[in-house]
């Protein structure tokens, strides 16, 4: 009877699937999601703190996190040999992601600073 209880107390190892960690691509996508959630929380906090004024014209700042994530995944896939499209496709992807980052920061950075009263060469203080 004691042997029967011991067998019931121990989980069966054979029937259980083994733990498989998430792939690198999924982890990068999860971190991009975390960055977006932090940005969203900060935007909502600023919206509430400024009594509804919010952050005008800062939407281009949503572009760099996704662009960085896509570039990291493209480079990783090239290094690991998982890229079926070829090296030129990877470098084109990285170039487009770099352009997207620059456009996002240039398009959203000055309005973000202007919302806090910091003058920039692109948007002078009124």
Q: pLDDT band for position 1 (50/70/90)?
A: low
CA atoms within 13 A on the CB side of 91: 3
Q: pLDDT band for position 126 (50/70/90)?
A: low
More confident residue, 21 or 12: 21
- Residue 88 φ then ψ, to 5°: -65, -35
Q: What is the pLDDT of residue 121?
A: 75
Q: pLDDT band for position 124 (50/70/90)?
A: low
Rounded to an integer, what distance in angstroms lies between the CA atom of residue 94 and that of residue 73? Answer: 10
Report residue 113 as tokens.
Answer: 């600073």
Distance (Å) of CA 90 to CA 32, 70, 81: 20, 10, 11
Tens of pLDDT, residue by residue over 62-96, are 999 999 999 999 999 888 887 777 888 889 999 99
Tens of pLDDT, residue by residue over 52-63, are 787 888 899 999
Rounded to an integer, what distance in angstroms lies between the CA atom of residue 104 and that of residue 38? Answer: 17
Q: What is the pLDDT of residue 12?
A: 53
Q: What is the pLDDT of residue 30?
A: 96
pTM of the model: 0.75
Rounded to an integer, what distance in angstroms lies between the CA atom of residue 117 and that of residue 35? Answer: 25
% of the chain beyond a pLDDT of 70:
84
pLDDT (average), residues 44-51: 88
Rounded to an integer, what distance in angstroms lies between the CA atom of residue 105 and that of residue 125? Answer: 19
- Domain range annotation of the chain: 23-115
């Amino acid at each position: 009877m004691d042997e029967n209880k011991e067998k019931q107390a121990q989980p069966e190892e054979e029937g259980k699937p083994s733990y498989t960690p998430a792939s690198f691509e999924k982890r990068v996508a999860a971190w991009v999601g975390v960055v977006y959630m932090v940005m969203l929380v900060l935007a909502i906090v600023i919206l509430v703190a400024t009594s509804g004024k919010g952050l005008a014209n800062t939407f281009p700042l949503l572009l760099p996190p996704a662009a960085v994530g896509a570039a990291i995944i493209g480079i990783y896939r090239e290094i690991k040999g998982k890229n079926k499209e070829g090296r030129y496709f990877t470098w084109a992807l990285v170039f487009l992601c770099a352009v997207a980052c620059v456009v996002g920061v240039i398009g959203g950075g000055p309005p973000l600073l202007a919302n806090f009263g910091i003058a920039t060469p692109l948007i002078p203080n009124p």
